[in-house]
A = this chain, B = another copy of it.
Amino acid sequence: MSSCDLCVVRNRAICSSLDSKELEALNSIGRRRTLSAGDSLMWEGEDSVLVANVIEGVLKLSAGTEDGREQIVGVVYPSEFIGRPFGTTNGHGVTALTDARICVFNRRDFDAFAREHPKLEHKLLERTLGELDRTRRWMLLLGRKSASEKVASFLLEMAERLVEPGCHISLTPSVRTLTLPFSRQQIADVLGLTIETVSRQFTRLKDEGVIALPSRREVSILDPEGLAAEAG
């Protein structure tokens, strides 16, 4: 029995395109790995040596300027795919935001396997197309939205995305409390703002009664409609 049979993302990751025999073959070229919050898996501009599936945890994709400014260009959740197949260099760094478990492959091995398994490539294509759409919509936020719209949009996105196994969320009728996998600085790096501006927007939303802040990493959405109205 391959370890994939126990995998919690088995039916949601790109692996779901494979039958059990194929899955075993893929499993034989991959290996499990754990990451602690803060660990980097790859760096921007580095050779593309590995790719991976996320089993548990949340990771960030980031790009930076010479002088140290950073922008988080993507967030990866369980069952999603990491890395650059069929390419020589990584376009961005990959770092774990929470402790994480992933399933890693040597990139060349994965490329060869994928080329022989069109259904896997098809699944990967569908995901990549979806991710591209999502990324482009985020550009609207970065280029055109105000700080308050950015923060409200961010919280709504989190509320939507964190409802996944492997992420922590509890919801009672119309009150959702989320445990953010981001520090304030990281939220700023997602939204293209400074940490101070993010903080001020959080306290403003709290003062308006739209959200509550039980702890540093937790946010309760008290008024989803109000938040949506602020998101622009």
Q: Which residues of A contact B (CB under 8 A)?
A: 61, 63-67, 69-71, 73-74, 84-87, 91-92, 115, 118, 121-122, 124-126, 128-140, 142-145, 189, 191-192, 232
Contacts and interface: CB of A to CB of B under 8 A. Distances in A.
Q: Determine chain A's interface SS by DSSP, over half rule.
A: helix
10 A-B pairs with least C-beta separation: A143-B192, A91-B133, A118-B118, A142-B142, A73-B136, A71-B143, A63-B140, A71-B140, A69-B144, A125-B125
A118 B121 CA distance: 8
B191 A143 contact: yes
Nearest to A130: B87
Contacts of A130: 87
Contact of A92 (B84, B136, B232): B136
B142 A139 contact: yes
Which of A69, A87, A144, A145 has the most C-beta atoms of chain B within 10 angstroms of its own C-beta?
A144
A87 B133 contact: yes
B121 A132 contact: no
Nearest to A142: B142
B129 A61 contact: no
A147 to B, nearest CB: 12
Contacts of A192: 142-144
A10 B61 CA distance: 35
Contact of A128 (B65, B69, B125): B125
Contacts of A133: 84, 87, 91-92
